[in-house]
Structure 1
Amino acid sequence: MTLTPAPAPLPPLAARARTVGGSPVREILAVTARPEVINFAGGLPAPELFDRVGIAAAFRTVLDEAPERALQYSTTEGEPALRQPLAARISARGLPTEADDLLVTTGSQQALSLLASALIDPGDTILVESPCYLAALQVFGLAGARVLPVPGDEDGVDPAALEALIRAERPKLLYLVPTFQNPTGRTMPAARRAALATAAARHGLWIVEDDPYGELRYDGDHVPWIASFPGAEDRTVLLGSFSKVMAPGLRLGWLRAPAGLRRACAVAKQAADLHTPTLNQLAAARYLDVLDAHVAKVRAVYGERRDAMLAGLPAALPAGSAWNRPEGGMFLWARLPEPYDTTALLRRVVEQNVAYVPGEPFYAADPDRSTLRLCFVTQTPEEIEEGLRRLAKGLVS
């Protein structure tokens, strides 16, 4: 009898795949997918507000008028039919932009991955806000970066602390969501943006300015992009997305970057997926004609939902809690008093059929375990009221 030798073990996964975990937000969403759960955890646009009729009409028009183009391969940089009006929209908001300044990406999350491929070598130091957008921490972790948080306050990154870290650590880039930040909802004032642009110019630092929520403003005045301030022109990458204002399922984003970096990102995109789906790009280009009217409707509804959550928080959170009042976006940030631990409390809260995201995963270091993120746009005011009632019960039961 001949014995079959045991197969040799397979080579291990790459070190970056073994050390970077999955998204806690995605894991929470999987646990709370039951329809009876009121879910304040996801960063999901309200599905009932998707313009299904208008988007469907845009797809039909494209397929009727140019099927051979819509169903064919496209250029890596993106369809001119989309990049040209998109450049005009950006220019109208105060940042002169040409179509050739833009690279269309498969969601703005891909833009982050392309930038990591083009800019980051293992061991490079990256500076981020504290707390920071969770998926950016994942991207930088997979790239092998050394990620350091910059101290800040309710207005975002502190310029003096940034200067000190730049001198001590010689970082390659600073990553920011300065408008309606994820997770805190805070917005960086213009004077602080100008100070960061000056620091980047003085020390030779890339700024990655992520702006997926900027069109969702409910009150207050527009604040210019960092990319528009003196000193930032040749060292700022601006990221944008159609996910929050059109539909996330289209997976359409973009980056605006200086020519050399943009070309490097295009090469990285060729290796990743060749190009963003042509049909989606052309349909989005068609839909741009009515996008502003649609966004106005979305803003009105989301503003009411933000106000409903703000009205209910005093009764829902324990005495001594604090929270902010975001001027736009999708998220509100709260801090519970000692000794509350929002990660430990989550299971008990989910038993009440409501969910939030604990603040802990959003920190690159030294997490504040008393914090949590609440998304206010997905539920109606009535659902928000009931969800906050359940949250209060879960926090004290």
Structure 2
Amino acid sequence: MYDGSSTAHLVEALRTALNRYSVGEKLPSSRALVRQYEVSPVTVARAIAALVAEGLVTSRPGAGVFKANRAERGVPGDVSWQEVALSADAGARGVDAAGVLATLTAPPAEVVDLNGGYLHTSLQPERALAAALARAGRRPGAWSRPPVEGLPELRSWFARDIGGSLDGGDVLVTAGGQTALTTALRALAVPGAPVLVESPTYPGLLAVARAAGLRPVPVPVDADGVRTDLLADAFAATRARLFVCQPLFQNPTGTVLAPVRRAEVVRIAHTAGAFVVEDDFARRLVHADAPPLPPPLAADDPDGVVVHVRSLTKVTSPSLRIGALTARGPALERLRATQIVDSFFVPRPLQETALELVGSPAWARHLRTLAVALRDRRTALLGALADLRPQWTPYGGYHLWLRLPDGTDEQAVVAAALREGVAVTPGGSYFTAEAPGPYLRLSYVSTAHPEDGGHRLRRALR
């Protein structure tokens, strides 16, 4: 008698049992499988769905489940010709997702994840999301086609959330922050052009820029954010028309752009005839002990220099891929046209769910709870690291930027950490070229116990 209860175990048992069936033969009923394997009806339904997805069985409503006739795979074809075809323009439009995949790949269950970039399930507002999704599905027209720019109510909410004199007409709803960055870079720069980026910076930005055929040019960051003296020099040397930055809780350093530099960034770009793409990804990841936050650059920019990007994904769930692009003037129409060509529009049920979520009392409660949890997890990880101190202690975001001693092989450290049961991110992928030294980025949101990962990392570094 089978005594397991998980879907995975039942799927494996049914795969084995199928060897005794002929093609087209009917499997026992769901009720019989519940009794035979002593599992719940939900587990049986999920196992059958998994077997249907694998092509092992077919399900006929009202008739039952039957063993499928799986066609034998033919002789593999010769795809070697693709190597030539794909390399024809690789120099102009290479796509390297390694830096992004490093933070998207989930480690084994026994490994503490200090690598990921999304909230652990214990931090996600799952009940509020489920309730919002259910209410959204009952909204009139929830499954009809939305306006290509996004639902007017959601656009207006984003405009109010950003602040300043923006209104809903300045906002495009996007499928998350990464999509918004992709649209901005493709719309505002031509292939082969330079694009100024902070150094170090988010690997996903570098991947997007290179995939669009752009040439990332680094501008160093210090404790006060991007160095504006070097930013002016970079604009003069490259004649770039685009600078991408994260003024608030920069990834990976956690720095905040100093007040004296905020107006300078916009002024320098305006003088150069360039746009500033402000990636405001971490504004709702503020910690409970943070001082008052500065407003977005876009809120103080009447001249349309700043193109603003923000997202609900980081603060809720990786599956709520809802973001916004904000711009003034002709740039907005260029962004709109690029987004329409790429993806038409963002699915309406997701937009309706986002509206239900941010309009509910649960939204403010979630933000307050999350702020406390982020502060506590950052503090716990810092305590576990002891003398391994980051360059700067952040008051928002979800990561620490750790400088290793000169001469340290950061890849060897990453491997040693994994052997100790903790996944960390090497710093090299955050630089456009050779890194000035060895670094690690440590995330404290993707695991329930970041302090455990900190202890394991210390053991790996002994």
TM-score (norm 2): 0.78
Aligned equivalent of 2:328, options 221, 243, 258: 258
Q: Distance in 1 between matches of 2:414 and 2:321?
A: 30
Shift of 1:16: 5.9
Shift of 1:64: 2.1
Q: Distance in 2 between matches of 1:28 and 1:234?
A: 33
Q: Which residue of structure 1 aligns with residue 432 of structure 2?
A: 364
Distance 1:367 1:47, change over 3 A: same
56-65 or 111-120: bigger deviation: 56-65
Q: Which residue of structure 1 aligns with residue 126 of structure 2?
A: 52
The amino acid that maps onto 1:96 is: S
Q: Report whether the alignment pairs 1:304 with 2:379.
A: no
Q: Deviations over 1:359-382 (max 9, x none)?
A: 1000012313411101112333xx
The amino acid that maps onto 1:65 is: R
The amino acid that maps onto 2:453 is: G
Q: Deviations over 1:195-224 (max 9, x none)?
A: 111111222111000011112222122112
Aligned equivalent of 1:326, options 390, 394, 402: 394
219-228 or 38-47: bigger deviation: 219-228
Distance 1:249 1:17, change over 3 A: farther
Distance 1:27 1:7, change over 3 A: closer
Shift of 1:314: 2.0
Distance 1:64 1:366, change over 3 A: same
The amino acid that maps onto 1:73 is: R
Q: Distance in 2 between matches of 1:128 and 1:212?
A: 16
The amino acid that maps onto 1:225 is: P
Q: Distance in 1 between matches of 2:232 and 2:190?
A: 22
Structure 1 residue ranges without an equivalent (≥5): 1-5
Q: Distance in 2 between matches of 1:204 and 1:191?
A: 21
Question: Contact between 2:200 and 2:220, CA under 8 Å: does it hold in 1?
Answer: no
Question: Contact between 2:92 and 2:192, CA under 8 Å: does it hold in 1?
Answer: no
Give the 3-state SS of the residue equivalent to 2:397 in structure 1: coil
Give the 3-state SS of the residue equivalent to 2:276 in structure 1: strand
The amino acid that maps onto 1:201 is: H
Q: Distance in 2 between matches of 1:226 and 1:84?
A: 18
Q: Report whether the alignment pairs 1:124 with 2:210.
A: no
Q: Distance in 1 between matches of 2:107 and 2:284?
A: 28
Question: Contact between 1:189 and 1:223, CA under 8 Å: does it hold in 2?
Answer: no
Question: Contact between 2:107 and 2:423, CA under 8 Å: does it hold in 1?
Answer: no
Q: Distance in 2 between matches of 1:233 and 1:303?
A: 36
Aligned equivalent of 2:142, options 56, 65, 70: 70
Q: Distance in 1 between matches of 2:286 and 2:390?
A: 22
Larger Rg: 2
Report the RMSD for the aligned CA atoms in angstroms.
Answer: 2.0
Q: Distance in 1 between matches of 2:351 and 2:240?
A: 35
Aligned equivalent of 1:241, options 311, 315, 318: 311
16-25 or 108-117: bigger deviation: 16-25
Q: Which residue of structure 1 aligns with residue 337 of structure 2?
A: 267
Give the 3-state SS of the residue equivalent to 1:121 in structure 2: coil
% identical equivalent positions: 32
Q: Deviations over 1:346-397 (max 9, x none)?
A: 11211111011111000012313411101112333xx22221121111122x
Q: Distance in 1 between matches of 2:257 and 2:200?
A: 14
The amino acid that maps onto 2:291 is: G
Question: Contact between 1:78 and 1:104, CA under 8 Å: does it hold in 2?
Answer: yes
Aligned equivalent of 1:21, options 96, 99, 110: 96
Q: Distance in 2 between matches of 1:141 and 1:258?
A: 26
| Greater relative CO, 1 or 2 (CA 8 Å, sep 6+) | 1
Alignment of 1:78-89 (within 5 A): 78-89=150-161
Q: Which residue of structure 1 aligns with residue 243 of structure 2?
A: 174
Q: Which residue of structure 1 aligns with residue 299 of structure 2?
A: 228
The amino acid that maps onto 1:389 is: H
Structure 2 residue ranges without an equivalent (≥5): 1-77
Distance 1:313 1:84, change over 3 A: same
Q: Which residue of structure 2 aligns with residue 3 of structure 1?
A: none
Give the 3-state SS of the residue equivalent to 1:309 in structure 2: helix
Q: Deviations over 1:230-258 (max 9, x none)?
A: 5x731110100001222220110101012
Alignment of 1:89-104 (within 5 A): 89-91=161-163, 95-104=164-173
Q: Report whether the alignment pairs 1:61 with 2:127.
A: no
Q: Distance in 2 between matches of 1:287 and 1:192?
A: 35
Question: Contact between 2:199 and 2:431, CA under 8 Å: does it hold in 1?
Answer: yes
Q: Distance in 2 between matches of 1:87 and 1:279?
A: 20
The amino acid that maps onto 1:208 is: V
Q: Report whether the alignment pairs 1:295 with 2:359.
A: no
Aligned residue pairs, count:
378
